[in-house]
Amino acid sequence: MSFVLAWLVAGPAWSQTAPTEPLVVEYHAAVACPSEDFFAAQLLARTARIRLVPRGTPARRATVTIDLQGLLPLGRLVIQEIDGAESVREVTGDACGEVVSALALIAALSVDPNAVTTPVVAPASVPVAAAPPAPVPVAPVPKPSVPSVPFPVRFGVAAGLSAAAGIAPSVLLGGRFSLEMAHRGVRYLPSLRLGLSSSRAARLALVGGGAVDFSCTLGTISVSAVELTAGPLWIAPTVDVEAGALRAVASHVAGATSASRAFATLGLGARVGLVVLRPIALEGSAGAELPLIRDRFFFEPDVTIARAAPVGVQAGLGLVARLP
């Protein structure tokens, strides 16, 4: 009996001295949803091992986003470690408050596997640890009274080198630039890229003297319906459309003239990215493309020197910046 009493007395003291982990919370929801204080209160009512700290403190980060654009409220929780690794969980429910409570439970379990899983009554106030003293005084940034809803579109810029085979007699090498738009708040993060690429092939030497230079300028559209992420890595399958002009310029050939022909392709590919330093990521791409126009280049009377292959391949490597 004395052992049981000793355990009951020592138990609360042990829980108070258990190590706590600092956590930064970023909360984005519509005005109709519960506030950030409600989420924080639900979180702290489930575990004593979490200590909330102000933004800017080096600590694990929990970003909560509630989207009301669909038929049911959709909650998204991103847990970001100090080293940049991320884990993502999504929850739907009949009511916004139900979704917020579920995300608070998931966040608590990510730190404390023994967190309370039954319904809890949150305290009226939420303690937040003070920021560590800084060597230089910094004016505090006022916290908005109403949480702001994140802008539904994410923007990005991509640039890099490209290579394509099957369009000209040799590989076309060049560069490309594109702008990206992706929709937030939906489960699959669809994105659209609009870009421009310019490239040229190695000179084609002709039998008997002379040569032909090929170049290609294309506008590009790349659509992705889903982007799969695993920490700093992502992969996105794409449908790609290219349209522009393929040009051939003959030199040291009697009677030859330069010629430009319309050119268009439809292809399937994939992009793979790796975050190296936020918001910059290294990205590679590859795919197969089907020429929709296959004009031939020839000398009179009927000597064909080039024609696009029935199927081509393309690849690229570059950098991507996504804001925010």
* Residue 171 is assigned to a structural domain of this protein: yes
Query: What phi and psi values does residue 95 have, to the nearest 5 degrees?
Result: -135, 155
Helical (H) or strand (E) element with 273: strand 259-277
* Residue 11 is assigned to a structural domain of this protein: no
* CA 258, chain centre distance (Å): 43
* Residue 59 is assigned to a structural domain of this protein: yes
Q: What is the dihedral of CA 131, 136, 139, 143, to 10 degrees?
A: -30
Q: Could you tell me if 182 and 47 lie in one domain?
A: no
SS3 49: coil
* Residue 10 is assigned to a structural domain of this protein: no
Q: Could you tell me if 177 and 241 lie in one domain?
A: yes
pLDDT band, very low/low/confident/very high, at 15 (cuts 50, 70, 90): very low
- Secondary structure letter of residue 262 according to DSSP: E
pLDDT at 11 over 60: no
Q: What is the dihedral of CA 235, 236, 237, 238, to 10 degrees?
A: -140
Q: Please state the rounded mean pLDDT for residues 7-27.
A: 63
pLDDT at 175 over 80: yes
Q: Could you tell me if 163 and 312 lie in one domain?
A: yes
* Residue 5 is assigned to a structural domain of this protein: no
Q: Could you tell me if 22 and 117 lie in one domain?
A: yes
Mark out the alpha helices in the chain (DSSP H runs).
Answer: 2-17, 36-46, 96-111
* Residue 168 is assigned to a structural domain of this protein: yes
* CA 106, chain centre distance (Å): 23
Average model confidence (pLDDT) across the chain: 81
Query: Using CA atoms, how far apart are residues 51 and 82, in angstroms rounded to an integer?
Result: 16
Q: Could you tell me if 258 and 283 lie in one domain?
A: yes
* Residue 94 is assigned to a structural domain of this protein: yes
Q: Could you tell me if 311 and 194 lie in one domain?
A: yes
User: Of the residues 117, 142, 167, which one is the last residue of a structural domain?
Assistant: 142
What share of the chain in percent tops pLDDT 90? 36
Higher model confidence: residue 142 or residue 198? 198
Query: Using CA atoms, how far apart are residues 15 and 196, in angstroms rounded to an integer?
Result: 60
Q: Which two tokens stand for residue 205?
A: 């030497």
Range of the domain at 318: 153-323
pLDDT at 9 over 50: no
Q: Could you tell me if 163 and 29 lie in one domain?
A: no
Q: Could you tell me if 76 and 197 lie in one domain?
A: no
pLDDT, one tens digit per residue, over 176-225 is 999 998 876 555 568 899 999 999 987 887 776 778 888 999 999 999 98
SS3 255: coil
Q: How many domains does the chain have?
A: 2
Q: Could you tell me if 157 and 252 lie in one domain?
A: yes
User: Of the residues 142, 169, 201, which one is the last residue of a structural domain?
Assistant: 142
* DSSP-derived pairing of the beta strands 50-52 and 74-80: unpaired
What share of the chain in percent tops pLDDT 70? 80
Q: Could you tell me if 198 and 278 lie in one domain?
A: yes
Q: Could you tell me if 113 and 215 lie in one domain?
A: no
pLDDT, one tens digit per residue, over 240-296 is 999 999 888 887 776 666 788 898 999 999 999 998 888 899 999 999 999 988 877
Task: Check which CATH number belongs to the domain holding 284 and give it.
Answer: 2.40.160.70
- Looking at residue 231, its pLDDT comes to 76
* Residue 135 is assigned to a structural domain of this protein: yes
Query: Using CA atoms, how far apart are residues 226 and 191, in angstroms rounded to an integer?
Result: 8
Least confident window among 125-134, 286-295, 312-321: 125-134
> How much helix, strand and coil, in percent to the nearest 5, is found in the chain?
15, 50, 35
- Secondary structure letter of residue 96 according to DSSP: H
Range picked from 58-72, 108-122, 215-229 for highest mean pLDDT? 215-229
Q: Could you tell me if 268 and 187 lie in one domain?
A: yes
pLDDT at 140 over 80: no
Q: Are 283 and 251 in contact (CB under 8 A)?
A: no
pLDDT band, very low/low/confident/very high, at 8 (cuts 50, 70, 90): very low
User: Of the residues 142, 162, 184, which one is the last residue of a structural domain?
Assistant: 142
Least confident window among 7-16, 39-48, 65-74, 141-150: 7-16
Q: Please name the residue that has the structure tokens 């982990």.
A: 21
- Looking at residue 153, its pLDDT comes to 80
Task: Using CB atoms within 10 Å of the CB of residue 165, give its burial: 0 to 12 exposed, 13 to 18 middle, 19+ buried.
Answer: middle
- Looking at residue 18, its pLDDT comes to 63
Q: Please state the rounded mean pLDDT for residues 1-26.
A: 56
- Looking at residue 306, its pLDDT comes to 77
